[in-house]
Structure 1
Amino acid sequence: MALLITKKCINCDMCEPECPNQAITMGAEIYEIDPNRCTECVGHYGTPTCQKVCPIDNTILQDPTLIESNEQLWEKFVVMYHGDRL
């Protein structure tokens, strides 16, 4: 599943530069994650880097409305980075 930044976000700017998929951008009030680009760092790291660097606990969570398996996240990664070779 894609990740979701909750309203607990303090706009500290820590998560955005850490996202290897450039899925995090500033929204109207807080940072937002583009679910089409978020692979939960599958293909890059073992755990989501945005969650690791966020100074506020439970601010970046799995989005329960966008359930994806690890296989689906891997496929999204492959298409984003190697789609021209498929």
Structure 2
Amino acid sequence: MSLIITDECINCDVCEPECPNHAISQGAEIYEINPDLCTECVGHFDEPQCQQVCPVDCIPHDPNNVESKEQLHAKYVKISAAA
């Protein structure tokens, strides 16, 4: 499943540069994660990098975008091929 940034986000700017898929961008009020680009860092790292650097722990799994590790890897392959 992809990740989501909650309202607890303090706009500290540390998550965006850590995302290898460029899935994180500044939204109207807080950072947002594009579920079409989020692979939870599958294909790049063992753990989602945004979660690792977030100082307020506001990046949980998105229950509206449930995906298996296999689906996340397939998305990674598709994104990598398009790059």
Q: What range is the shorter-chain TM-score in? A: over 0.9
State the shift of 1:83 in Å. Answer: 5.1
- Quote the residue 1:9 is aligned against: 9
Residue 73 in 1 paired to residue 72 in 2?
Answer: yes
* Regions of 4+ moved over 4 Å: none
User: Per-residue CA shift, 1:50-80, capped at 9, x if unaligned?
Assistant: 00000012x0000001100000000000011
How far apart, in 2, do the equivalents of 1:82 and 1:24 lie? 19
Larger radius of gyration: 1
The percentage of aligned residue pairs carrying the same residue is: 60
- Give the partner amino acid of 2:59: I
> How many residues get paired?
83
Paired residue for 1:19? 19
Residue identity in the other structure for 1:15:
C
Q: Compute the RMSD of aligned alpha carbons.
A: 1.1
Gaps of at least 5 residues in structure 2 are none
Q: For 1:46-61, what aligned pairs fall within 5 Å after superposition?
A: 46-57=46-57, 59-61=58-60
Unmatched tracts of structure 1, length 5 or more: none
Q: Which amino acid aligns with 1:44?
A: H
Separation in structure 1 between the aligned mates of residue 26 and residue 82 of structure 2, nearest angstrom: 27
TM-score by length of 2: 0.97
